[in-house]
Structure 1
C-alpha cells in the first residue's frame, strides 16, 4: 500500500516537474522589439517636420514587420503560429473568468486574451500604415490625417493596456512574463519546448530592416548649405560687384 502510494507520488512528480524550455523563437522576439522601437520612434517624431522622413521610414518598417509576422504565424515554430494561440471567444471569456477567480488557466504560449491584443495591434498597424501613406502622398485630405492620428492614439492606448495586462498577469500567474520575450525561455515540461530558436531567420529579418533603413537614408534630401557658407558666397558676390 505504502509502496503503491510512493510510486504514484514519484510518477506525479516526474510528470509535473518543470524545466527551462525554449518557447519564443528568435524571430518572434526580434519582431516584438523591432515593433516596440519602431512605434516608439514613429510616435516621438510624429509632430516634427524635421524628422518626417524618419517617421515615415519607421511607419513603413512596422508594416513590413507585420507582413513578416503573418508569414511566420503560418510557418513558424510551435508558439509563433496563429493556429496555436488564436482561440474562440468562449476560450477568451473562460480565461478572463479564471483570472477573476485567481485560478488562472496556464498557457505556455500566448493566452487567449493576449492573442486578441496581438491581432488587434497587427490590424491597427496596417491601418496606421495605410492612412499614413495616404497622408504622406497627399491623398484623402485633412480627414485622412485625422484618421491616421486617431488610429495611432488608439494603438498607443492598446499598447499601454497590453503592458498593464502583462504586468498584472505576471503577478497573478506568479511568473515573469516579460523576461521570456527577451531570453525566449520559460518553465515548463520538456515536451512543451520548441527545438530551435531559428536565429538564421531572425538575422535575415534584421538584415532586411537595416537594408530598408539604409535605402531611406540614401534617398534622404541633402541638407541645405549652412548660413556661414551662404554668407561667404554673398560677400564674395558683393565684392565682385563693387570691383566692377
Structure 2
C-alpha cells in the first residue's frame, strides 16, 4: 500500500479574506434570485461593491498572502505558470497562483462594473437607458460564467496540487506537501 505524502499546515487566508470571499459569494448568489430593481437587489449590489473596495484596500495593507504584491499576475508569471502546467511540472503556490490571481481581479472588476451600471440605472439621466440595462445584464451573465470557471478551476487545481483549496478558503489553512 502506497503511503500518502506528508503534509504541513500553512496559514494562508486570514479571517478578512475568508469573510470577503464568502460574503461576496452570498451577495452574488442572492442577487440572482432577488427581483431586479428591488431595494434588496440594490443593497446587495452596493454591499458587493463595498466588499470589493475593502478587499482592494486589504490588497495593499493586509497580511502577506492577501497583498497584491505577493501574487499580482504579471505576463511573465502567467506565461511561466501556464508553461509549467502544460509541461506537467508541479509549481505549488502558497497563496494565489497567477491564473487564480487574474481570475480574482477579473471577478472583482466585474462586480465593480455591475455596481456602477446598477447605480447608474437609478439616476435621473440614465435610469431608463435600455443599453445600460443590457450592459448590466451582460456583466451579470459574465460574472456567473467567471464564478463557475473560478469554482471549477479551484477544484481542478486543488486536485492537481493535492491541496483542498476550498477547505483552505473555509479554514484559512492550506496543507502543503512536504518535500
Distance 1:71 1:35 in 2: 16
- For this pair of structures, how many residues does the alignment match? 171
Task: Please say if 1:28 is aligned against 2:47.
Answer: no
- Structure 2 gap segments, 5+ residues each: 1-5
- Counterpart of 1:185 in structure 2 is 173
What is the match of residue 70 of structure 1? 56
Q: CA deviation at 1:21?
A: 2.2
CA distance, structure 2, for counterparts of residue 37 and residue 20 of structure 1: 28
Classify 1:40/1:138 alpha carbon distance in 2 versus 1 (closer, same or farther; 3 Å): farther
| Residue 184 of structure 1, CA deviation | 0.4
Q: Displacement of 1:174 after TM fit?
A: 1.6
Helix, strand or coil for the counterpart of 1:187?
strand
2:21 match: secondary structure: helix
2:147 corresponds to = 159
Which residue of 12, 26, 45 corresponds with 1:37? 26
Counterpart secondary structure, 1:179: helix
Equivalent of 1:103 in 72, 82, 89:
89
With structure 2 as the length reference, what TM-score do the two structures score? 0.89
Partner of 1:136, secondary structure, is: coil
Query: Deviation string for 1:39-89 (max 9, x for gaps)?
Result: 001111144x6xx11111100000100110011110000000000010311
- Structure number with greater Rg is 1
Q: What is the DSSP-based 3-state SS (H/G/I as helix, E as strand, rest coil) of the residue aligned with 1:44?
A: coil
1:133 is matched with 119
Residues 1:146 and 2:134 aligned together = yes
Residue matched to 1:204? none
Give the SS at the match of 1:21. strand
Q: Provide TM-score, normalisation by structure 1.
A: 0.66
Q: Determine the C-alpha separation between the residues in 2 that align with 1:77 and 1:138.
A: 42
